[in-house]
Amino acid sequence: MDNVTQSPVRHGAMRLATVKLIEVMSKGSPGEVLTDERTSVISGHDTHVGGNGYGYLCSAIRYCLREHGVVWRRVRGEARIECLSDDQKIDLADWERRGINRRTRRSMRTLGSVDPSRLSDEKRKEHLVLAAVCGTLLETSSPRTIKRLGGDGTPKALDMSRLLTAMTQTE
């Protein structure tokens, strides 16, 4: 029996460790903190960064966001995660938007370094489509467009015609 490895316990498609974490984390309230020690006890695995249970914690975080709208984020430099308030969720979304903007600019530079005359017709078409998609992403995620969409500061539902106007305006 010493050399026999047991298959992990599963609950549906998820492992039991993930299910146990979800049970606790789905009831999270803004400002609530879970330390790595506590999540390790809940899951029965080491949930520290790089630990064998860290994947279970990441899966639980994604599930809580997708199914319950509860956002948990790791506090950098500290062995804990925190449940975010609505204000913090907006800050997180803006931080993620800036990351999208940086990666899209890098992709545009890469695409700009391509010589289309040396590409096959199929690759040239793919190059043009990627450039158009990246250009649209770059324009819609730029701080200038975000500011223009805000307009007079009155919060409104996203209006596509207003988005297109903001994207095509010149300064």
| pLDDT score at 104 | 92
Helices (H), the chain: 16-25, 36-43, 54-63, 86-112, 121-140, 143-150, 160-168
Phi, psi of 152 (to 5 degrees): -85, 10
* pTM of the predicted structure, to 2 decimals: 0.70
Q: Same domain for 53 and 108?
A: no
1 occurs within a structural domain:
no
Tokens of 86: 């609505």
Q: The dihedral of CA 64, 70, 71, 75: what is its sign? A: negative
Question: Where in the sequence is the domain holding 26, given as residue range(s)?
Answer: 10-83
5 occurs within a structural domain:
no
3 occurs within a structural domain:
no
Q: Same domain for 120 and 160?
A: yes
Give how many domains the chain has, as a whole number: 2
Q: Same domain for 161 and 143?
A: yes
| pLDDT score at 151 | 64
pLDDT (tens, 9 = 90+) of the chain, 171 residues, equals: 444 454 444 556 788 899 999 999 999 999 999 999 999 999 999 999 989 999 999 999 999 999 999 999 999 889 999 999 999 999 999 899 889 889 999 999 999 999 999 999 999 999 999 999 999 888 888 888 777 777 665 556 666 776 677 667 666
Tokens of 22: 């979800």
Query: Among 83, 99, 115, which residue terminates a domain?
Result: 83
Query: Among 43, 66, 83, which residue terminates a domain?
Result: 83
Cα 60 to Cα 25, 76, 78, 88, 169: the distances in Å are: 8, 18, 19, 19, 43
Q: Same domain for 106 and 41?
A: no
CA 89 – CA 98 distance, rounded (Å): 14
Q: Same domain for 76 and 140?
A: no
Listing DSSP states for 14-62 in one string gives EEHHHHHHHHHHTT--TT-EEEHHHHHHHHTS--STTSTTHHHHHHHHH
Amino acid letter at 40? S
| pLDDT score at 103 | 92
118 occurs within a structural domain:
yes
Phi, psi of 16 (to 5 degrees): -60, -35
Query: Among 30, 50, 83, which residue terminates a domain?
Result: 83
